[in-house]
Amino acid sequence: MNKKIFSGVQPTGNLHLGNYLGAIKNFVSLNNDKKNKCVFCVVDLHAITTKQDPKELKNNIRETVATFVASGIDPKRSIIFNQSQVKAHSETAWILSCVARMGWLNRMTQFKEKAGKDKEKASVGLYSYPVLMAADILLYDTSHVPVGEDQKQHLELCRDIAQKFNNDFEVIDFFKIPEPLIQKEFSRIMSLKDGSRKMSKSEPSDLSRINLTDDKDQIINKIKKAKTDIFPLPSNKEELKDRPEAKNLLGIFSSLTNTSLDKNINNFSGKNFSEFKEDLSQALVDKILPISNEIKKLLNEKKYLDEILLNGYEKANEIASKKIKKIHEIVGF
């Protein structure tokens, strides 16, 4: 089946192993299938839902493009662009925010997690972020959205908004109803310091994540310091239920080496973490170090990165402008 793919990554710095294994790795294989049409977006409008330093944001936008390319996305085959450049995103988000219901947004767990206890002080943008995400996806008649497990609920909301718009305005099939593409296994990579928390850019401790720009020594050091428990590695999946750190590290190893969890449980069963960590570090160095080196090289080629964004903008804008024109007609503007 020919798929129309859309996904975004926030340029908030510190892109990490969770972003790579949960999303970008999948982007690369979708990009490599010639039958697919892929659009990958640097979602800077999403980034400013929490405070950003303007200078850093500009650098982070380029770094996200560099990460896409260094990971294997071919800008000649896929559209890579910057969300804020294509004005139809903000406009569609406003229109869809008049379709989405408060009750639906009130159920979004990511807002609750990110806003924390002090939700009165969270930005309105952080609250309505999933509506903007729906606009991003729906503008491109997307059929599939590759995301990490944490975005599943937002995608369900996107489907609800699309359906309600189509029903309210009696335009059956105007917005295509997108399917999530979430990997069956290892779609949620956890912190190296706490196996019950998601690996995340905003976690204060750098030791909690492998950044995609880490060098060999940093990778080895972080894995050495990664939290484990006191037992040897388990002999079956059942035992992993109450051992979140062991589960996470074995999952990372399996995903990196494209091997099954069962096979790795068999291979490492009864061994100490120190032995397993050596193999895990090696797998990380093999996979992440070439990406890290390529990102650093590309960051010196600002002109090339800006050209990718300009080229992507032209293509994305052409698609999105046509769709917003039709939205205007449907709404009655």
Active site residues: 114, 198, 201
Q: Which listed residue (136, 150, 214, 245) binds ligand AQP by CB under 6 A? A: 150
The site that binds ligand AQP (CB under 6 A) totals a number of residues, namely 19
Cα–Cα dist 139/83, whole Å: 12
248 binds ligand AQP (CB under 6 A): no
Residue 140: CB minimum distance to ligand AQP, A: 16
Burial of 153 (0-12, 13-18, 19+ CB in 10 A): middle
- CA 163 and chain centroid, separation: 24
Nearest to 183 by CA among 287, 11, 30, 8: 30
**SS in 3 state form for 143-195?**
CEEECCHHHHHHHHHHHHHHHHHHHHCCCCCCCCCCEEECCCCCCCCECCCCC
Q: Which listed residue (157, 189, 192, 256) binds ligand AQP by CB under 6 A? A: 189
19 binds ligand AQP (CB under 6 A): yes
Q: What six digits make up the tokens of 53?
A: 């330093």
Cα–Cα dist 26/147, whole Å: 8
Cα–Cα dist 123/146, whole Å: 27
Q: Which listed residue (155, 199, 256, 324) binds ligand AQP by CB under 6 A? A: 199
Specify whether the backbone of 78 is left (phi greater than 0), alpha (psi in -120 to 50) or beta: beta
Which residue has its beta carbon closest to ligand AQP? 22
Residue 48: CB minimum distance to ligand AQP, A: 12
Q: Is 132 helix (H, G, I), strand (E, B) or coil?
A: helix
Kindly tell me which of 60 and 166 has the beta carbon lying closer to ligand AQP. 60
292 binds ligand AQP (CB under 6 A): no
**DSSP assigned state of 233:** P
Kindly tell me which of 147 and 246 has the beta carbon lying closer to ligand AQP. 147
- Cβ count within 10 A of residue 150: 18
Q: Which listed residue (36, 71, 83, 151) binds ligand AQP by CB under 6 A? A: 151
Q: Which listed residue (5, 23, 79, 223) binds ligand AQP by CB under 6 A? A: 23
Kindly tell me which of 209 and 323 has the beta carbon lying closer to ligand AQP. 209
Residue 27: CB minimum distance to ligand AQP, A: 9
Q: Which residues pair with 40 in a beta bridge?
A: 7, 80
Answer whether 153's CB lies under 8 Å from 110's CB.
Answer: yes
18 binds ligand AQP (CB under 6 A): yes
12 binds ligand AQP (CB under 6 A): yes
Q: Which listed residue (22, 195, 234, 312) binds ligand AQP by CB under 6 A? A: 22
Q: Which listed residue (202, 258, 274, 300) binds ligand AQP by CB under 6 A? A: 202
Stretch that binds ligand AQP, among 14-22, 83-91, 171-179, 215-223 (CB under 6 A): 14-22
Angle, helix 244-257 to helix 261-268, in steps of 10 degrees: 110
Residue 150: CB minimum distance to ligand AQP, A: 5
148 binds ligand AQP (CB under 6 A): yes
Residue 43: CB minimum distance to ligand AQP, A: 6
Kindly tell me which of 44 and 268 has the beta carbon lying closer to ligand AQP. 44
288 binds ligand AQP (CB under 6 A): no
Question: Strand 37-42 relative to strand 79-82: parallel, antiparallel, unpaired?
Answer: parallel
Question: What residue ranges bind ligand AQP (CB under 6 A)?
Answer: 9-10, 12, 18-19, 22-23, 147-148, 150-151, 187-189, 198-202
